[in-house]
Structure 1
Amino acid sequence: MELRQLESFVVVAEELNVGRAAIRLHLTQPSLSRQIAALERDLDVELFARVKRRFVLTTAGESFLADAKELLRLAEEAVRDAQRTQRGELGTLRLRFVQSATFRVLPQLLGAFRTANQEVLLDLETMTTIRQLDALRDGRIDVGLLRLPTPEPGLETRVLSEDPLVVALPAGHRLAERERVALTDLADESFILYTRSTGPSVHDAIVGYCKAAGFVPRIVQEGADTQTIVSLVAAGLGVSLLIALTPPIDPRAVVYRRLSDDLPPWKLSAAWSPDNNSPVLQRFLRLI
């Protein structure tokens, strides 16, 4: 049974006249009759009969007509879906992101992408840079929003933002009244830093900056994510150096201040494998 046979059957069933059906299908009457006969042989049923010189559907033909129309509809839908998938209008985007991306870049990107691609499924999860790199290499995700200290071999990247370090201080801290704070002002403070196992590049960079300013930071607590660190600062357990943008919080609990030191910004980048030919990924890359 072929789709063209189903289409011919449906048109003949609608017209109940082989001549008119042949005109609609741009076929000769003998060719159309052969198609119907071949379909009846394949099904081993009679689809049409003549009753008082009229061409009518048999009971089996009436039963088959609804299913034939549904099969043709599904075939057309399958073709459309395949074409749309190839254009990236359907499918899934597997995206992972570091937490600091959630404060500005991620909402902007996802908002614009969702508006233009409403039928693409979004597979989203917070993930550290280290884990994202492994997932990109293994093909388990399509794109990551991460912070790379150095270029990563085998991956394409595009910088999305460059963000400074800021000081997070309890609102009642002695330095909270200043517009900018120097690293040397923090030499005697207790520090709350990113857990090294989840963010070694940021952790090591901050420690390195402090050493270059003449002191080793006294780390009293660590947090795996920015929100936890800010909560510990709000509790008065210490100060922290964070990558801006930072999570919104009551200014009566925590204040953020820029550093007066000339430190390099932290780049937030999109990263993906050049071997990934996902059409959905290509649409996302065109957006960013």
Structure 2
Amino acid sequence: MELRHLRYFVAVAETLSFTAAAARLRVSQPPLSQQIRDLERELGVALFERTSRRVGLTAAGAAFLDHARAILDQAELAAEQVRAIGRGHMGSLEIGLTGSVLGGRLGALLAAYSACYPKVALRLHEMSPQEQETALINRRTDLSFLRWPNDDPDLAIERAWPETVGLALPRRHRLGARRCVDLADLRDESFVFLRRTDSRFARHLWTCCIDAGFAPRIIQEVGDAQALVNLVAAGFGVALLPESIGRLSRAEIAYRPLAGTAASADVSIAYRADHRAVAGEFLEFARKFLAERHRVA
């Protein structure tokens, strides 16, 4: 039994006419009649009562009609789901990120995407940058949002949005009265820093300090940007932070822009060139969404 048999049977059952059913199906009547006879032979029961004046359903045919419709509906639903997955409109999307990136534009992007693609389940995986890249290469995730990604030949990288770096310092710090701070003025400060072994962004900030003429005196290294905020609030030292994190700082902290530095906290999207359809659909949506946000900004 094939789906074709069921479609032919339902057409005849609904029209109670082989001629009308053939017209609906756009086939000639003899093949249609043959398909119905083949179906009845396979089932071992007559589905229609045929006379010279009318066609009617037998009791078996009436019972079979409900099942045939349900099977055809399920087949169409399955086909629609498969087509939706193929177009990237259904399924799951695994996204790697660091906690600090959610403080930027990513939260708004994910909310807008979920509203447009409610049948795609977003799964967020908070990881260090190195873990994110390993997960991408091993296909455990589809995309990653991170700062200063590694130049890996297996990954495609494009900038998602620009972001500046600023200085977080205790509210009563001597530099708090300034509107902006030159990086070179921090040579005598104690720093709390992101862990350089885990973060190329942290190593980038270290290099910027070296270019400004000093090696930062690091008191504590942590793996999360929010931990830096808490350490600054506790008075451990100052911290170089992405703007999105600095603007969300606590009342005990002052956040000041940096002058005289090439420090950048730009966020990039990393993905495999042979990504799945759902990742490709997300990338197109993200490019348009972020371009519009940048234009408005």
What is the TM-score with the length of structure 1 in the denominator? Answer: 0.88
Q: Which residue of 2 aligns with 1:156?
A: 156
CA separation of 1:247 and 1:282: change in aligned 2, threshold 3 A: same
Q: 1:174 aligns to what?
A: 174
Counterpart AA for 1:225: D
Q: Where do 1:20-35 residues align within 5 Å?
A: 20-35=20-35
Displaced runs of 4 or more, over 6 A:
none
Compared CA separation, residues 133 and 35, structure 1 to 2 (3 A): same
Matched ranges for 1:156-235 at <5 A: 156-199=156-199, 201-235=200-234
Task: Name the structure 2 match of 1:86.
Answer: 86
Q: Bigger shift: 136-145 or 179-188?
A: 179-188
**Percent of aligned positions that are identical:** 39
How far apart in 1 are the matches of 2:140 and 2:128?
A: 14
Q: CA deviation at 1:99?
A: 2.6
CA distance in 2, matches of 1:247, 1:182: 17
Contact 1:105–1:160 at 8 Å: present in 2 too? no
- Sort the Cα spacing of 1:181 and 1:29 in 2 relative to 1 into closer, same or farther, 3 A: closer
Aligned partners of 1:166 and 1:256 also within 8 Å = yes
- Does 222-231 or 22-31 show the bigger shift? 22-31
Which sections of structure 2, spanning at least 5 residues, go unmatched?
A: 288-297
Cα distance change on mapping 1:78 and 1:189 into 2, 3 Å: same
Q: Distance in 2 between matches of 1:38 and 1:67?
A: 18
Between the aligned partners of 2:274 and 2:186, the Cα distance in structure 1 is 46
What is the SS of the residue equivalent to 1:246? helix
Root-mean-square deviation (Å): 2.5
Partner of 1:241: 240
* Counterpart residue type for residue 258 of structure 1: P
CA contact (8 A) 1:226 1:247 kept: no
Which of 278, 281, 284 is the aligned partner of 2:279? 281
Residue aligning to 1:12: 12
**Does the aligned pair in 2 maintain the 1:166–1:259 contact within 8 Å?**
yes
Kept in 1, the 8 Å contact 2:148–2:267? The answer is: yes
Which runs of 5 or more residues in structure 1 are unaligned? none
* CA displacement at 1:181 relative to structure 2: 1.7
Partners in 1 of 2:34 and 2:59 — Cα distance?
A: 21
Aligned residues: 286
Report the equivalent of 2:292. none
Question: How far apart, CA to CA, are the structure 1 residues paired with 2:211 and 2:54?
Answer: 98
TM-score (norm 2): 0.85
Paired residue for 2:101? 101
- d(CA) in 1 for partners of 2:168 and 2:159? 25
2:91–2:278 contact (8 Å) kept in structure 1? yes
